[in-house]
Amino acid sequence: MAPAMPAESAAPSPAAADPRAALMESIRSGTKTLKRVEPAAKPIVVDDSRSNLLSEIRQGVELKSVSRSGSTSGSERRGARPACGLAEALQRALEERSRAIHSSDSEVSDATTSDGEWDD
């Protein structure tokens, strides 16, 4: 005589093998195995003038409008105090370079308007 076959097979069911399927089955069955978690404490926010201003802007505080009176060039600002230090020397060099580039632009535009022949 042959031995009787068990009602369930020995292989695990697909739901038990896949953790996601097991989770879904647990949700469907309504088992309450989740643990309560306490919310993390919020970090303490340090109030400074920038964050206060930003929060006021977010709340809709109306800012003062400022009229722009012509921009001051670097030479006008330098007149108030003598130029010293690396930053001011770099600023002066950049301004001189900018003037040189812009003045050579007009010369280049004159040269490109010629008839395209080489000067002898």
CA 98, CA 90: separation in Å to the nearest integer? 12
In this structure, is residue 59 part of a structural domain?
no
In this structure, is residue 105 part of a structural domain?
yes
In this structure, is residue 104 part of a structural domain?
yes
Which range marks the domain in which residue 88 is found? 84-109
In this structure, is residue 29 part of a structural domain?
no
Give the pLDDT confidence score for residue 26 in this predicted structure: 81
Give the pLDDT confidence score for residue 91 in this predicted structure: 93
In this structure, is residue 93 part of a structural domain?
yes
Q: Is the dihedral of CA 29, 32, 33, 35 positive or negative?
A: positive
Global pTM exceeds 0.85: no
Between 11 and 84, the more confident residue is 84
In this structure, is residue 49 part of a structural domain?
no
71-117 tens-digit pLDDT? 555 555 555 555 578 989 999 999 999 998 888 655 555 555 555 66
Tally of domains within the chain: 1
DSSP designation for 47: P
Give the pLDDT confidence score for residue 108 in this predicted structure: 55
21-56 tens-digit pLDDT? 888 888 888 777 677 888 888 877 777 888 888 888
Between 69 and 101, the more confident residue is 101
φ, ψ for residue 102, nearest 5 deg: -70, -30
